[in-house]
Amino acid sequence: MLNNGASPYARTVTLSLTVATHPSLCLQLIATQWPAALGGLSSPALGAEPPDAASLPRADDTLRGHVRDLLRHGGFKPTGRSKPSSEYLLRVAKEQPLAAINVAVDLANYASLHSGLPISVVDLDRTALPLAVRLAAPSEQYVFNASGQVLDVANLLCLHDALGPCANAVKDAQRTKTHADTRTTLTLIWAPVACREHSERTRAWLDARFAEAQGRSLAVAIER
């Protein structure tokens, strides 16, 4: 749903999303209406711990193995440049502070870095309904950055809209990423079933931080 004015999701009571049956996925979703465009909202300093950081569950090697297994289901290989985004964040954070982007992405990056779970943040107004989470087809790919680099997402769990795949646990599509004028976001926590409690605690922590930043939660109805 491409939109240049006020977000139509401001009037949405329930966002509907279809999730295909998957034996290893425990997807956590947060849809948020922000009080102003993200470019005008203050963001927590990434070098400091956000409120209640101690309650955020922490990753370990076992969890990282479960995340990779989740991505492997269907035939995708989460190695090299196709590693889970949470592993990429960990590598970057060891070398330098994470760059600030906006409050929605910064908080999601903090949660992903410490929980070990890959997290996507999508601008809902840049999507075209309907929305669905399923394995990508063998031929599917998309541009994932401003330089025009392409990611082959064949057999990878992805969020799809009417135009194709647009987010996953590795790299999100450039066309639906947040920007300064973003008003409504969908946050997806790509969690394995084996880590359900871990993922629920991560979602609760992130949802609370969004609320502290005056984000208004929108209901999400999952259809199977």
pTM value is 0.94
pLDDT, tens digit, 9 for 90 and up, residues 170-205: 999 999 999 999 999 999 999 999 999 999 999 999
Strand (E) or helix (H) holding 208: helix 196-212
Best CA proximity match to 160, nearest among 182, 185, 123, 135: 135
pLDDT, tens digit, 9 for 90 and up, residues 111-166: 999 999 999 999 999 999 999 999 999 999 999 999 999 999 999 999 999 999 99
Place of tokens 């949660």: 111
Answer with the residue of higher pLDDT: 49 or 200.
Answer: 200
Domain 13-40+57-223: which CATH class?
A: alpha beta
Indicate the average pLDDT of the chain: 93
pLDDT, tens digit, 9 for 90 and up, residues 208-219: 999 999 999 999
pLDDT, tens digit, 9 for 90 and up, residues 66-125: 999 999 999 999 999 999 999 999 999 999 988 999 999 999 999 999 999 999 999 999
Which CA distances in Å does 90 have to 131, 169, 176? Answer: 29, 14, 24
Q: State how beta strands 28-33 and 184-189 pair.
A: antiparallel
Q: State how beta strands 216-223 and 14-19 pair.
A: parallel
CA 83/CA 118 separation, integer angstroms:
10
Place of tokens 């370990």: 60
98 touches 119 (CB < 8 A): no
**Rounded to 5°, angle at Cα 201 from 54 and 223:** 155
Q: Which one-letter DSSP state was computed for residue 47?
A: T
SS (H, E, C) 142-199: EECCCCCCEEECCCCEEEEECCEEEEECCCCCHHHCCCCCCCEEEEEECCEHHHHHHH
pLDDT at 8 over 70: no
